[in-house]
């Protein structure tokens, strides 16, 4: 049979998950699940990594088979023939129901989609510790179903969070995140979570503020998830709007009161906005409710340097380090406070320790070194450390143009040149 005749018999071809989903009146996520678990006839071009396509006549035959299969009750979502359903019907009006009674259904506990949904739910209670659980669930879901674009997009974002929080080497977390989101977009170019992950990379790695702004503006109305809102708040910081970022994160923390991370980020943005009184109030509330976390401790340490005399800050920082002894930023804040108290030898001991590579991330915490160097009034070396930190891209590097601890460097021409070069959107 010729290729042309075979094409004609199979019906019109639909290219891409979006076209297939639109034809069936479902979301791309649903049709991917139907393909993985129930045999929806979808083909892949150029082997396993190419785009996907399907034939409308085969899709209609599959719907009919599922509806009329002996021993299986048709799901309400398949009550109509595809050809009878208005193609302009809003997708949101169609129930997202799996084929619950299909004889080929995979047990729910082994479903990649169940793992994916479980992983996404962790964003509402995200903490420094459970982000590793979230990453593991996304990775398991992607291993079970390598064409699960939502799992790959979620994996990309969770890897970026781990890099942002200092749990993973930034070069590796960004590279893996990029690979995951590229594959997710290859599976479904219109997948909102993948677009959101791509926008995160523009903020955290590529420093493409304008590109990220355009992406988040579109996602803000069509896909206003936690990931979109946090990404937009981080972009506000990079754009120089710490107060706006604080307001956004504040609303998020109120909506998700069990999450430590959003409150910690809010306190950090309050610090950047130099609203230390409000930040201290939020920290006190967190303490009373049993919340802690790496970002919250770090923000409290930085605020202590701005709010308290050096001697009191030293005592405060010693207490914080007992609660989070592996926090390099707290250690650097202690070095700064010791230098300000005249205890330069102790400060230099801390500086020497910070020069050693971190055992967990394999990198030197350059921002932390810069803080101690500022306390020791070694400004040029501090500027070099700030620039090195910016190249690596930790969370703190989004705000070097705002950071109060870097205030002594602002009159230095080399630091001004660095800010103008690194944060061009804030110089208008």
Average pLDDT over residues 141-153: 90
CA–CA distance, 2 with 258 (Å, rounded to integer): 61
Is there a contact between 269 and 242 (Cβ–Cβ < 8 Å)? yes
Q: What is the DSSP letter of 105?
A: P
Q: For residues 427 and 239, what is the distance between their CA atoms, to the nearest angstrom?
A: 9
Q: What percent of the chain has pLDDT over 70?
A: 83
Are both 73 and 124 inside the same structural domain?
A: no
Q: Looking at the structure, tell me whether residues 139 and 208 fall in a common domain.
A: yes
Residue 65 lies in a domain: yes
Final residue of a structural domain among 212, 238, 264 = 238
Residue 322 located in a structural domain: no
pLDDT attached to residue 425: 65
**Tell me, what's the pLDDT at 387?**
96
Q: Are residues 166 and 208 in the same domain?
A: yes
At 27-76, the pLDDT tens digits run: 787 888 788 777 888 887 754 445 788 888 888 888 877 666 544 433 33
Q: Inform me whether the pLDDT recorded for 359 exceeds 70.
A: no
- For residues 102-116, average pLDDT: 57
3 state SS of 14:
strand
Section 313-321 average pLDDT: 96
- Average of per-residue pLDDT values in the chain: 84
Asked if residue 145 belongs to a domain, the reply is: yes
- Kindly state the average pLDDT of the residues 401-419: 97
CA separation for the pair 112, 148 (Å, rounded): 8
Winning range, highest mean pLDDT, from 35-39, 198-202, 222-226: 198-202
143 and 229 in a single domain? The answer is: yes
Q: Residue 72 is part of a domain; what is its CATH number? A: 1.10.10.10
pLDDT tier at 100, thresholds 50, 70, 90 = very low
- Does residue 169 share a domain with residue 209? yes
Whether 69 and 189 share a structural domain: no
Q: Is residue 332 part of a domain?
A: no
> Quick one: which H or E segment has residue 15?
strand 13-15
Whether 358 shows a pLDDT value over 90: the answer reads no
Q: Which of 413, 417, 394 is nearest to 167 (CA)?
A: 394
* Predicted local distance difference test score (pLDDT) of residue 360: 56
Instruction: Please say which residue of 238, 273, 296 terminates a domain.
Output: 238
Same structural domain for residues 73 and 144? no
**Higher pLDDT pick, 79 / 316:** 316
Using pLDDT thresholds of 50, 70 and 90, give the confidence band for residue 92: very low
φ/ψ of residue 52, rounded to 5:
-110, 155
Q: What is the pLDDT of residue 368?
A: 96
* Residue keyed to tokens 């069936």: 24
253-293 confidence digits (pLDDT tens): 999 988 889 999 999 999 999 999 999 999 998 888 887 88
Q: Is residue 75 part of a domain?
A: yes
Residue 4: pLDDT band (50, 70, 90) is very low
Instruction: Give the domain CATH number at 149.
Output: 1.25.40.10
pLDDT of residue 428: 41
Q: How many residues are given for the chain?
A: 428
Across the range 146-157, mean pLDDT stands at 93
Task: Say if residue 122 is in the same domain as residue 223.
Answer: yes
Q: Is the backbone of residue 169 left (phi > 0), alpha (psi -120 to 50) or beta?
A: beta
| Residues 113 and 232 placed together within one structural domain of the fold | yes
Q: How many domains does the chain have?
A: 2
| Sheet hosting strand 43-44, strand order edge to edge | 13-15, 52-55, 43-44
Give yes or no for residue 413 having a pLDDT over 90: yes
Residue 54: beta bridge partners?
14
Asked, for residue 287, whether it belongs to a domain, the answer is no
Query: 193 and 229: one domain?
Result: yes
Q: Angle 310-323/328-340 helices, nearest 10 degrees?
A: 160
pLDDT at 364: 83
In-domain check, residue 229: yes
Q: Of 56, 87, 118, at which residue does a domain stop?
A: 87
Tell whether 151 and 219 lie within a shared domain: yes
Q: Do 126 and 210 belong together in one domain?
A: yes
Per-residue model confidence as pLDDT tens digits over 318-339: 999 999 999 999 999 999 999 9
CA atoms of 258 and 261, how far apart (whole Å): 9
pLDDT at 29: 77
Q: Quote the domain boundaries for residue 7.
A: 3-87
The region of weakest confidence among 159-168, 340-349, 392-401 is 159-168
User: d(Cα 19, Cα 12) in Å, to the nearest integer?
Assistant: 12
**Considering only 59-68, 94-103, 295-304, 355-364, which range has the smallest mean pLDDT?**
94-103
142 occurs within a structural domain:
yes
Both structure tokens of 312 = 């009191």
Does pLDDT of 93 surpass 90? no
Give the percent of the chain with pLDDT over 90: 58
User: Is pTM beyond 0.85 here?
Assistant: no
The model's confidence at residue 427, banded by pLDDT at 50, 70 and 90, is very low
């Amino acid at each position: 049979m010729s290729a042309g005749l075979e094409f004609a018999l199979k019906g019109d071809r639909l290219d891409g998950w979006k076209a297939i989903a639109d034809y069936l009146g479902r979301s791309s996520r649903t049709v991917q699940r139907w393909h993985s678990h129930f045999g929806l006839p979808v083909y892949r071009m150029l082997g396993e990594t190419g785009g996907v396509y399907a034939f409308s006549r085969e899709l209609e035959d599959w719907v009919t088979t599922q509806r009329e299969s002996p021993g299986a009750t048709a799901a309400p979502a398949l009550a109509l023939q595809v050809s009878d359903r208005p193609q302009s019907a809003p997708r949101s009006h169609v129930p997202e129901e799996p084929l619950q009674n299909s004889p080929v259904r995979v047990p729910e506990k082994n479903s990649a989609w169940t793992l994916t949904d479980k992983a996404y739910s962790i964003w509402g209670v995200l903490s420094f510790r459970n982000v590793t659980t979230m990453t593991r669930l996304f990775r398991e879901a992607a291993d079970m179903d390598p064409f699960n674009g939502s799992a790959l997009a979620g994996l990309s974002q969770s890897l970026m969070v781990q890099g942002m929080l200092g749990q993973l080497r930034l070069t590796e977390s960004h590279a893996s995140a990029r690979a995951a989101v590229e594959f997710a977009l290859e599976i479904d170019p219109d997948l909102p979570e993948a677009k959101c992950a791509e926008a995160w990379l523009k903020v955290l790695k590529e420093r493409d503020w304008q590109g990220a702004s355009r992406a988040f503006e579109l996602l803000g109305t069509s896909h206003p998830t936690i990931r979109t809102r946090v990404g937009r708040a981080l972009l506000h910081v990079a754009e120089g709007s710490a107060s706006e970022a604080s307001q956004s994160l504040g609303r998020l923390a109120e909506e998700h009161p069990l999450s430590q991370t959003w409150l910690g980020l809010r306190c950090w943005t309050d610090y950047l906005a130099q609203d230390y009184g409000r930040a201290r109030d939020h920290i006190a509330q967190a303490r009373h409710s049993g919340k802690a976390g790496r970002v919250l401790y770090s923000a409290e340490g930085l605020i202590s340097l701005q709010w308290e005399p050096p001697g009191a800050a030293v005592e405060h920082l010693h207490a914080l380090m007992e609660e989070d002894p592996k926090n390099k930023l707290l250690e650097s804040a202690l070095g700064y406070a010791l230098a300000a108290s005249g205890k330069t030898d102790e400060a230099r001991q801390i500086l020497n320790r910070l020069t050693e590579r971190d055992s967990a991330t394999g990198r030197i915490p350059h921002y932390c070194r810069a803080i101690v160097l500022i306390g020791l009034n070694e400004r040029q070396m501090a500027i070099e450390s700030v620039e090195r930190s910016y190249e690596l891209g930790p969370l703190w590097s989004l705000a070097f143009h705002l950071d109060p601890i870097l205030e002594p460097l602002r009159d230095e021409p080399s630091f001004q040149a660095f800010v103008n070069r690194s944060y061009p959107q804030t110089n208008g």
